[in-house]
Amino acid sequence: MRPSLAVLAASLTVLAACATPPEAAAPQADAQLAPARESVKPVQSADAYYTSAAAAVEARIAARGAKPAKNVILFIGDGMGISTITAARIYAGQSAGEDGESHHLAMDGLPYSALSKTYSHNFQISDSAGTAVAMVSGVKTLSGVLGVNSSVSYGNCASVPGTEVDTLFELAARAGLSTGLVSTARITHATPAAAYAKAPLRDWEADSDMKGASSDTCRDIARQLIEWPEGSFDILLGGGRSKFLTKETPDPEYAGRTGDRSDGRNLTEEWTAKSPDHTFAFDKAGFEATDFTTGVKLLGLFEPSHMQYELDREADRAGEPHIADMTRAAITRLSQNEDGYVLMVEGGRIDHAHHGGNAIRALEDTIAFDLAIATALEMTNPEDTLIIVTADHSHTLSISGYAQRNNPILGLSVSGLGGEGGSMGADGLPYTTLGYANGPGACRVTGKDSDSKDVLACGREDLTGVDTQAPDFRQPALVPLGSETHAGEDVAALASGPGANLISGVMEQNELFHVMGRAMGLIPAPAN
């Protein structure tokens, strides 16, 4: 295994100790949660999903109490189901030359945990938009929309007015707190965009994506970020700069590439024109040249689209900052506000690797994401900072068979017991420990037809002698699909710090907003 990952995995074991053990908290009145802040009812406070979640969290506060939180950091591993956490833990340990099964990730050390139910208003198995809205606004809404409730109509600009919801980031900004977003996906992608955008379709990231919808009636997501009514975020780090540049503007890194915008607006220039503190960076050098101990407001967009997978970023270290470095920069910058801050950190590419049926890249990105969690635990005070680690949804990754202890998690299943069947399927072929219920791994290209199109062979492949740990290996899948899908089971919600004691049992995903909002004193207790 690569030494860099071994060092990283070893560091996670040490940093996991930064998590705070649970402490008994005496019940406290709501006024004690954050006495210096005046709570405000969000516009969605009458929504049935909101009131139900608010009541559930209020019952926990009444029974257990909750200490006030100055800061909140919400870590979202996009697509990071429990099987992904388990597989990443084993992979990290094995990469470090340790026992993988008993290895510890930083997130494993968080003292409170719950299962989070991820369905949306209209989907049993949701997308990242509907789930992100639930976490940042306290309501469940339609899959595929941002910053609006379930009364909105898909792609219908006229249906947006009156359906908007207030997000945790908007409430924080109005209260004078600092705000930040970090993502390895496009900063206009569904999860980070849920913090600031109001859109009846998550795909409207640039005006050219709107396909006939009037940009005067509905603004694209990148434009909404630049024109955010609450002012501007204090730090924004991720990918997606093509959504901010015009079709005539050359990309600063890639020859022959330009932006996506057709309205002639270079939004990076509009950002830097806001004030002398507003700056823009497009590469690791610009990021590292920034002094985050100042009042700088950095818009860092490090790729035209999503940032690189961690496995590929390591081969191109000059190009992009690590998600842990971006997290460190964001905390350094936001911590200057004595009143506190709200920060979202998304490991966005875990999801994308799963969609490609490529487990190794999903696990590498999960370990990088975990190092960002370790960084936050190291940098923050557990007495004043609530940290929640969760996922928006799961994926169909499974860990199956009867592999023996220390068997490579990315390898073929080997039990070591022999006997009938052994580590072979009933068809006499070996199988991998990791697999997907559906996705591109169900088929393989065997050649080209007369029209130069791929000829596919679907079904079980003999993996004898195949390097299943190669970077581009796709784990076998059952149902052939061009892209593996999300999964609908509950995901983990792990927490430490003030208010973390409210994370327990089986929770509705939108209750996480109420835990954060109540701990910070940004939203009031529900009326009796």
* 348 and 184 Cβ atoms separated by less than 8 Å: yes
Rounded to whole angstroms, how far apart are CA atoms 338 and 87? 39
Residues with catalytic roles: 128
Rounded to whole angstroms, how far apart are CA atoms 383 and 401? 43
Q: How would you label 473-509 residue by residue, b for 16+ Cβ within 10 Å and e otherwise?
A: bbbbbeeebeebbbbbebbbbbbbbbbbbbbeeebbb
Q: How many other β-carbons are positioned within 10 Å of the β-carbon of residue 248?
A: 11
Name the DSSP class of 164: B
- Count CA within 13 A, CB hemisphere, residue 109: 22
Tokens at residue 3, please? 């030494």
Handedness of CA 455, 456, 457, 462 (dihedral sign): positive
Helices (H), 335-459: 349-355, 359-379
- At 338, give phi and psi (nearest 5°): -65, -20
Strand partners, 180: 235, 343
DSSP class per residue in 467-484: -TTSTTPPPPEEEE-SSP
Amino acid at 150: S
Rounded to whole angstroms, how far apart are CA atoms 315 and 192? 26
Amino acid at 140: K
Handedness of CA 370, 375, 376, 377 (dihedral sign): positive
Name the DSSP class of 245: S
Taking the mean position of all CA atoms in its chain, how far away is CA 286? 24
3-state SS class at 182: strand
Report the relative pairing of strands 477-480 and 434-439 from DSSP bridges.
parallel
Q: From edge to edge, which strands make up the β-sheet containing 477-480?
A: 397-399, 434-439, 477-480
Tokens at residue 246, please? 């015009």
Tokens at residue 501, please? 């004691």
Amino acid at 107: M
* 456 and 481 Cβ atoms separated by less than 8 Å: no
CA 151, 194, 42: angle at the middle one, nearest 5? 60
Q: How many other β-carbons are positioned within 10 Å of the β-carbon of residue 270?
A: 14
Name the DSSP class of 359: H
Tokens at residue 173, please? 């900004």
Q: Which residues contact 130 (CB under 8 A, 6 or more apart)?
A: 120, 121, 123, 140, 141, 142, 143, 144, 145
